[in-house]
Amino acid sequence: MIHPTAGVFEGREHQLPVRIYYEDTDFSGVVYHANYLRYFERGRSDFFRLIGISHTALAEADTAFAIIRMELDFKRSARIDDALVVRTTYDSIKGPRLFVTQRITRGADLICQASGVAVCITLDGRPRKPTSEMLAQLSPWLEGGKLAS
């Protein structure tokens, strides 16, 4: 059976290939700006998937994530048939907040970059610290391998 890729790691950076389809573009043939948020979400989700953190298991443990801040800088346009790479690093964790940096590239060209904050929450929306198991799985991938104080 063929499974979709969850990407690969290059050092601390998770890399997820994304192909641009007609449905991703606007009337001018350029990727619609809101779709970059979807690609970044896929990168964050597949980062977790590849290190063994399952969103299904998180939900069973009354845990989820909400994006509370996302800043995007658009540098170049992407178009139909482009092969892009979503590059994700989790930089630090402070309390319930996870700080993430993401970039989308086409070859050596930077298409879009993002800086964001996700917060770990219960399923009814209350902030909570990540579980010790989650922290152990994430810690090796953080900048300097450490949690923020």
- List residues with catalytic annotation: 26
CA 114 → CA 5, 24, 69, 88, distances in Å?
Answer: 22, 19, 10, 9
Burial of 27 (0-12, 13-18, 19+ CB in 10 A): exposed
Rg (CA), the chain: 16
Dihedral of the alpha carbons of 113, 45, 94, 140, in degrees to the nearest 10: -100
